[in-house]
Amino acid sequence: LLPGRNRERMCVCVKCGFPHKKRPIQHAMCLPISKNTEMQVDFHTGTDENSDVAFHFQAYFGISVKINNRQNGSWNCEVASSGMPFVDGQPFELHISVLQNEYQVMVNGQKYYSLAHRLPPQSVKFVQVWRDVSLSSVCVC
């Protein structure tokens, strides 16, 4: 994240596949590296992987999505959803918006998930996107 950004009105977008020619290019590609493809997005409050996580989003492609946060080294109650907009190997667009009271997750233009703030969004220092994805760009706006 860039210093000075208003983190209460931030959004992170990850796009996968071939972008429309008239749109800005921001993509990520889901690679079928393993039999059970996963994607994880973490909003860390510190500068290392062991810091608190204000927002944790993990998609198990074709199975489920889990959303949570880690505070003082412990994970809180997980929000699990059976709604699955991700298909292994298929293009997708992921938007995570930081709203006044919650994080809102949209996939391919549809709202799928939300999580009320458990840690102040202003405390986020970096965004980590990992697991079975290969990113060519991420937009923080």
CA distance 63 to 73: 27
Write the DSSP symbol of residue 87.
-
Residue 9 has pLDDT above 60, yes or no: no
pLDDT of residue 15: 47
Q: Domain limits at 136?
A: 7-140
The CATH number of residue 73's host domain is 2.60.120.200
pLDDT of residue 48: 84
CB neighbour list of residue 41: distance below 8 Å, 6 or more residues apart: 12, 14, 55, 56, 57, 58, 94, 96, 127, 128, 129
Q: pLDDT > 70: what percent of the chain?
A: 69
Q: Strands 110-116 and 93-98: what pairing?
A: unpaired
* Residue 60 and residue 76 in contact, taking contact as beta carbons nearer than 8 Å: no
Q: How confident is the model at residue 96 (pLDDT cuts 50, 70, 90)?
A: confident
* Residue 107 and residue 85 in contact, taking contact as beta carbons nearer than 8 Å: yes
For 27-58, the pLDDT digits (tens) are: 444 544 456 778 899 999 998 889 999 999 99
CA distance 37 to 131: 8
Residue 2: inside a domain, yes or no?
A: no
CA distance 120 to 111: 22
Residue 1: inside a domain, yes or no?
A: no
Residue 108: inside a domain, yes or no?
A: yes
Residue 122: inside a domain, yes or no?
A: yes
Residue 69: inside a domain, yes or no?
A: yes
- pTM (2 decimals)? 0.77
Count of domains observed in the chain: 1
CA distance 136 to 28: 6
Residue 18: inside a domain, yes or no?
A: yes
CA distances from 113 to 18, 21, 77, 85, 102 (A): 24, 28, 15, 11, 10
